[in-house]
Amino acid sequence: MDVSRIRKVAGSTMIRGFFEGISRAAALHPASDPERYGIEVLKDLRYRPGNASEYALDIWRPRRPGKCPVALYVHGGAFRILSKETHWVMALALARAGYMVVNVNYRLSPRHAFPAAIQDACAAYTWTVENAARFGGDLDEGFVIAGESAGANLVSGLAIASCYERPEPWAREVFETGRVPDAVLAACGILEVSGSERFGKRKQLSSFINDRIMQVEESYLGGFGPHVPGERDLADPLAFFERGEAPQRPIPPFFLPVGTADPILDDTRRMAGALQAMGVVADDAYYPGGVHAFHAFVWQEQARKCWKDIYAFLGEHVGDFRSE
């Protein structure tokens, strides 16, 4: 193993340990208890056949009469690390806003490279449309898809699959549900996996940050083979939208929050521009000093401001379902 490889593995291990540790510690705080907010959690349901943990999801639902709008949450982690367990805070935040939240796992790279993650996201989307009503969700009240970082990439791919009749059979299953989301929350996304060296060309990055960014492409696309036009559309939703192809169904509104200290900020700016050029509602919001995935640190002022803006966006485009 060469020095560069050792450095990348060590860095990735450190990042995973940090986020897993802070997630476990935060979950111990009394304010993190979903029962405190009248929220029930159903753990480890399966959206695909088999017992693999990658095919598991949790449902977070408010304990109240009537049905709830639905939010599908797809976690980040560079397609390589983390899980629904580390992203409980996102599920809690959306459930507190009145949504039945479907918080999903998916297969991770490099063991499972592209298109495994988006295949699983598509399967989870289809499962959610077909099964939400069984658990108290009501798609007629609203349907939101949300994710951050790699999850933002994946939900952007889901938006494409819902609005464009794609050749991939697993993407076509999303289109065939006939249900387009009412809103997409794509936070601090790496929205084009290919060509990740662009970030270092735009702005000088530390070797640690550059390694993390380059590792995304290497692990997710490294074994995918030659680049055939269109074949990586669902790994590179930003590049797809920049082509400006007309959809079969209207593209839903996007909310695109990002911190100004995020090294991949430029993908958010480009995505907003591409969608706006197509006539899509795309609100990009920039939070001073916010690092990558800053809104997960909900005790910080900028994170609270971001969630307030998320709720306002959902209130405008889906409805306000908060009870507190």
Q: How far is the C-alpha of 273 from the C-alpha of 16, rounded, in Å?
A: 32
pLDDT tens digits, 3-33: 555 455 555 666 666 666 766 667 767 778 9
Q: What is the pLDDT of residue 90?
A: 98
* H or E stretch covering 104: strand 100-104
In the sheet with 39-46, reading across from the earlier edge strand, the strands are: 39-46, 56-62, 100-104, 70-74, 143-148, 183-187, 254-259, 282-287
- Please give the structure tokens belonging to residue 274: 């591409």
pLDDT value of position 65 = 82
Q: Global pTM?
A: 0.93
pLDDT at position 169 is 97
pLDDT of residue 104: 98
| Nearest residue to 287 via CA among 265, 306, 268, 310 | 306
> Is residue 92 scored above 70 in pLDDT?
yes
Buried b (16+ CB within 10 A) or exposed e, 174-200: bbebebbbbbbbbbbbbbbbbebeebe
**Whole-Å CA distances, 70 to 95, 101, 138, 149:** 9, 6, 6, 21
Note the pLDDT tens digit of each residue in 136-166: 999 999 999 999 999 999 999 999 999 999 9
Average pLDDT of 306-319?
97
- How far does CA 217 lie from the centroid of its chain? 17
Q: Could you give the CA distance from residue 24 to residue 147 in angstroms, rounded to a whole number? A: 20
| pLDDT for the residue 267 | 98
Q: Is the pLDDT of residue 227 over 70?
A: no
Beta bridge partners of 61: 40
CA 19, CA 159: separation in Å to the nearest integer? Answer: 27
Q: Closest by alpha carbon to 155, among 188, 177, 195, 199?
A: 188
Whether residue 226 is predicted with pLDDT greater than 70 in this model: the reply is no
Q: What is the pLDDT of residue 18?
A: 61
Q: Pick the residue with more confidence: 1 or 223? A: 223
> What per-residue confidence (pLDDT) applies to 52?
87
Tens digit of each residue's pLDDT (9 = 90 or more) over 32-51: 899 999 999 999 999 999 88
Mean pLDDT of the chain: 92
Give 264-311 pLDDT, tens digit per residue: 999 999 999 999 999 999 999 999 999 999 999 999 999 999 999 999
Residue 203 confidence class, pLDDT cut points 50, 70, 90: confident
Beta bridge partners of 42: 59
pLDDT in tens, 230-275: 889 999 999 999 999 999 999 999 999 999 999 999 999 999 999 9
Whether residue 1 is predicted with pLDDT greater than 60 in this model: the reply is no
Residue 61: in which H helix or E strand, if any? strand 56-62
Q: What are the sequence ranges of the domains in the chain?
A: 3-317
The CATH code belonging to domain 3-317 is: 3.40.50.1820
SS3 255: strand
